[in-house]
């Protein structure tokens, strides 16, 4: 609908505010209020002190740069009002610090955002769920970071993280829910069983069948099928599930499964016609990145939707009988993206393929263009992978570190020190949390390219594709699942100064109308799944940091990638200073229907 290159007119940003998304939420970041020095912005290991008065952000110092979204702006609105109402806040700011109960001398402190959103009626269930999950994932990344710095060894990060989360105001034990859980949508992905429990999808940690008593009878409310038993996940909408207990789990003694507990509950569902939530677990989807350390086995749990139990019988030889259940998926629910991806991968020809690699091999992996809506092709542009700086501009050489130990000692690595004494990435490449500015190691550092403090400078690693959306023109998505914190891509384009001379210039913008990379196709959303992070690595000019997109949550395959353009209403004017209005079409629940 909107065409990028048509919108190349005079967008003028009258506000000098710079707003960038926090990893936690569409939030009010330090940028909004002026910048803190990156060193003081880090809260990763502040001493524990709950009564610490909230830090007042500095009014404003040097305003670096405005993020100019692609001039092709599809749809949008602004989160501005919410920011004004203080509904959101960012990790870097005045959160309530919660100390981890680390039974060793070294205490870890995770700063959590204020808990206003919880229990607030105005926040819909979906936002709550997403916030809780983001919070949990943030804690996990923090713990992982601590583990990697060898401050401490947690066996089970998931269990450790839930302990922290429990201390957070707004966390409560989930009630038993029959049917869909408000805020959870078919296709949602999780990485730990604990996460299923947090959102109330499946409350027990290990058991496969969660049940509740309704009207005096025990009925099943959710099941997890993750390969522990030989279930049959036949084709599409049917599932044969194996009961719990007996020998199947690898017991020493053969034993018949008993019709009690979960087994009975599941059988009762036939009579009561109770819908059962099905969560599908997949194992070993880990994809070892090139040059990365050993890839951990990663399990993914996908919410498959509601099923009804239609049949129940016993199977097997006497002495090792098991219960089997036949479940049918209730019609009218969205198809799992996973299945579509499977079909797509199976089929030889890709439907709607308009271009096998729009980057013309400039990226490490091809980025194809898919259009199953009409015949349109993207408007031609020059594909570049790196930002192009103004001709007159000579980049300041960065001051690197001289680490030879892989920058492992974050108190000695000069780059880590600039990041407030931490390497802001986990060893798997995920960003730990949003910061005003991140310093990656660069060309003048002595560390090798495999250093963990170089997460976003090696280009795109996740297979992305450009596709035609219904309403918003072109968009970007992936056939793979993306886990929270993953680096997606840079926003590349022509860097230009907003004032006459380079020297006096206060603001810079990136214009991707004529040349750019995939980043120029990423649409706006009021509840985005990516966020933009400022990063410096190949130069030290804070006025024009790289703008790097990271996943703010787990993103299922085929879901469109979006970030918040961060316009404010009234911000954009035409040549004559007249306010311009653009409708937001992002369609999210908290959309305010105006991009600017």
Is the Cβ of residue 61 or residue 205 nearer to DNA in the bound state? 205
Is the Cβ of residue 296 or residue 412 nearer to DNA in the bound state? 296
User: Which range in 224-232, 346-354, 437-445, 571-579 contacts DNA by CB under 7 A?
Assistant: 224-232
For residues 248 to 287, the per-residue mask of contacts with DNA, x marking binding by CB under 7 A and - elsewhere, is: -xxx----------x------------------x--x---
**Any idea what the Cα angle at residue 439 is, between residues 438 and 445, rounded to 5°?**
165
Residue identified by tokens 């997606």 is 488
Find out whether 161 and 136 touch, Cβ atoms under 8 Å.
yes
320 binds DNA (CB under 7 A): no
DSSP-derived pairing of the beta strands 209-214 and 494-497: unpaired
Find out whether 595 and 567 touch, Cβ atoms under 8 Å.
yes
Among 48, 205, 364, 581, binds DNA (CB under 7 A): 205
CA distances from 579 to 3, 28, 120, 168, 412 (A): 21, 24, 33, 42, 50
Helices (H) and strands (E) in the chain, counts: 9, 25
Least distance from DNA to the Cβ atom of residue 449, Å:
18
Least distance from DNA to the Cβ atom of residue 312, Å:
13
Among 241, 425, 487, 563, binds DNA (CB under 7 A): 241
Least distance from DNA to the Cβ atom of residue 365, Å:
19
246 binds DNA (CB under 7 A): yes
Is the Cβ of residue 194 or residue 476 nearer to DNA in the bound state? 194
User: Which range in 185-193, 470-478, 546-554, 570-578 contacts DNA by CB under 7 A?
Assistant: 185-193
Least distance from DNA to the Cβ atom of residue 364, Å:
19
Least distance from DNA to the Cβ atom of residue 231, Å:
5
Least distance from DNA to the Cβ atom of residue 284, Å:
6
Least distance from DNA to the Cβ atom of residue 143, Å:
10
Find out whether 458 and 537 touch, Cβ atoms under 8 Å.
no
Is the Cβ of residue 126 or residue 218 nearer to DNA in the bound state? 218
Residue count, binding to DNA (CB under 7 A): 44
Backbone angles phi, psi at 272, to 5 degrees: -80, -10
CB atoms under 10 Å from CB of 333, counted, come to: 16
Among 35, 128, 131, 193, binds DNA (CB under 7 A): 193
CA atoms within 13 A of residue 142's CA, in its CB half-sphere: 29
203 binds DNA (CB under 7 A): yes
SS3 call for 531: strand
Is the Cβ of residue 192 or residue 487 nearer to DNA in the bound state? 192
Among 12, 46, 96, 299, binds DNA (CB under 7 A): 299
Residue identified by tokens 């001709």 is 391
Is the Cβ of residue 123 or residue 432 nearer to DNA in the bound state? 432
Find out whether 36 and 94 touch, Cβ atoms under 8 Å.
no
Least distance from DNA to the Cβ atom of residue 351, Å:
30
200 binds DNA (CB under 7 A): no
Closest residue by Cα to residue 3 from 521, 527, 585: 521
User: Which range in 66-74, 95-103, 289-297, 341-349 contacts DNA by CB under 7 A?
Assistant: 289-297
Is the Cβ of residue 203 or residue 594 nearer to DNA in the bound state? 203
User: Which range in 12-20, 237-245, 409-417, 502-510 contacts DNA by CB under 7 A?
Assistant: 237-245
Among 228, 421, 459, 463, binds DNA (CB under 7 A): 228
Binders of DNA among residues 331 to 370 (CB under 7 A) are none
CB atoms under 10 Å from CB of 163, counted, come to: 12
Distance from the first to the final alpha carbon of the chain: 17
Least distance from DNA to the Cβ atom of residue 529, Å:
22
CB atoms under 10 Å from CB of 364, counted, come to: 12
Find out whether 188 and 303 touch, Cβ atoms under 8 Å.
yes
What is the spatial distance between Cα 352 and Cα 468, in angstroms, rounded to a whole number?
A: 10
Least distance from DNA to the Cβ atom of residue 208, Å:
3
Among 51, 150, 235, 297, binds DNA (CB under 7 A): 297
Binders of DNA among residues 122 to 181 (CB under 7 A) are 153, 155-159, 162, 173
Is the Cβ of residue 323 or residue 439 nearer to DNA in the bound state? 323
119 binds DNA (CB under 7 A): no
Least distance from DNA to the Cβ atom of residue 531, Å:
25
Contacts 24+ apart (CB under 8 A), 194-197: 194/136, 194/158, 194/159, 194/161, 194/162, 195/133, 195/136, 195/158, 195/301, 196/224, 196/279, 196/301, 197/162
Burial of 396 (0-12, 13-18, 19+ CB in 10 A): exposed
What is the spatial distance between Cα 157 and Cα 167, in angstroms, rounded to a whole number?
A: 16
Q: Applying CB under 7 A, which residues contact DNA? A: 153, 155-159, 162, 173, 191-194, 203-209, 223-229, 231, 241-242, 244-246, 249-251, 262, 281, 284, 288, 294-297, 299
């Amino acid at each position: 609908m909107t065409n990028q290159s048509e919108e190349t007119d005079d967008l003028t940003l009258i506000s000098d505010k710079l707003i960038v998304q926090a990893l936690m939420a569409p939030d009010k970041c330090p940028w909004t209020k002026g910048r803190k020095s990156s060193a003081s912005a880090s809260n990763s290991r502040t001493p524990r002190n709950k009564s610490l008065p909230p830090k007042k952000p500095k009014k404003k110092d040097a305003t670096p740069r405005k993020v100019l979204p692609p001039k092709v702006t599809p749809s949008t609105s602004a989160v501005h009002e919410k920011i004004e109402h203080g509904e959101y806040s960012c990790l870097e700011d005045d959160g309530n610090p919660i100390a981890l109960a680390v039974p060793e001398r070294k205490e870890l402190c995770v700063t959590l955002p204020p808990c206003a959103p919880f229990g607030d009626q105005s926040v819909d269930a979906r936002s709550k769920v997403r916030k809780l999950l983001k919070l949990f994932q943030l804690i996990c990344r923090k713990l992982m970071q601590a583990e990697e710095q060898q401050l401490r060894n947690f066996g089970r990060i998931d269990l450790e993280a839930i302990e922290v989360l429990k201390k957070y105001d707004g966390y409560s034990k989930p009630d038993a829910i029959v049917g869909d859980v408000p805020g959870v949508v078919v296709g949602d992905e999780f990485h730990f069983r604990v996460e299923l429990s947090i959102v109330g999808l499946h409350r027990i940690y290990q058991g496969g069948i969660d049940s509740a008593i309704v009207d005096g009878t025990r009925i099943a409310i959710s099941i997890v099928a993750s390969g522990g038993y030989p279930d049959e996940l036949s084709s599409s909408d049917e599932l044969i599930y194996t009961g719990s207990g007996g020998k199947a789990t690898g017991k020493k003694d053969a034993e018949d499964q008993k019709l009690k507990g979960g087994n009975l509950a599941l059988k009762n569902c036939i009579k009561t016609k109770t819908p059962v939530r099905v969560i599908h677990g997949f194992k070993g989807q880990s994809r070892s990145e090139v040059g990365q350390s050993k890839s951990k086995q990663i399990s993914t749990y996908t919410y498959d939707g509601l099923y009804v139990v239609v049949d129940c019988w016993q199977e097997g030889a006497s002495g090792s009988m098991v219960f089997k259940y036949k479940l049918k998926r209730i019609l009218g629910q969205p198809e799992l993206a996973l299945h579509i991806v499977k079909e797509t991968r199976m089929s030889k020809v890709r439907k709607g393929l308009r271009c096998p690699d729009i980057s013309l091999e400039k990226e490490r992996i091809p980025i194809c263009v898919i259009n199953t809506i009409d015949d349109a092709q993207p408007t031609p542009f020059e594909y570049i992978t790196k930002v192009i700086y103004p001709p007159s501009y000579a980049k300041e050489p960065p001051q690197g570190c001289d680490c030879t130990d892989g920058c492992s000692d974050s108190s000695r690595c000069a780059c880590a020190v600039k990041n407030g004494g931490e390497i802001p990435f986990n060893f798997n490449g995920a960003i730990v949390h949003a910061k005003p500015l991140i310093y990656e190691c660069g060309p003048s550092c002595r560390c090798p390219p495999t250093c963990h403090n170089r997460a976003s400078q090696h280009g795109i690693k996740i297979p992305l594709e450009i596709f035609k959306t219904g309403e918003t023109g072109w968009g970007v998505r992936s056939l793979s699942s993306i886990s929270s914190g993953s680096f997606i891509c840079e926003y590349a384009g022509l860097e230009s100064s907003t004032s006459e001379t380079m020297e006096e210039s206060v603001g810079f913008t990136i214009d991707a109308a004529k040349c750019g990379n995939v980043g120029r196709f990423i649409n706006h959303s009021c509840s985005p799944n990516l966020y933009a992070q400022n990063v410096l690595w190949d130069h030290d000019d804070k006025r024009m940091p790289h703008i790097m997109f990271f996943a703010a949550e787990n993103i299922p395959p085929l879901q469109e990638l979006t970030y918040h353009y961060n316009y404010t209403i009234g911000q954009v004017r035409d040549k004559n200073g007249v306010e311009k209005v653009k409708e937001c079409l992002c369609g999210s629940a908290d959309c305010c229907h105006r991009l600017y």
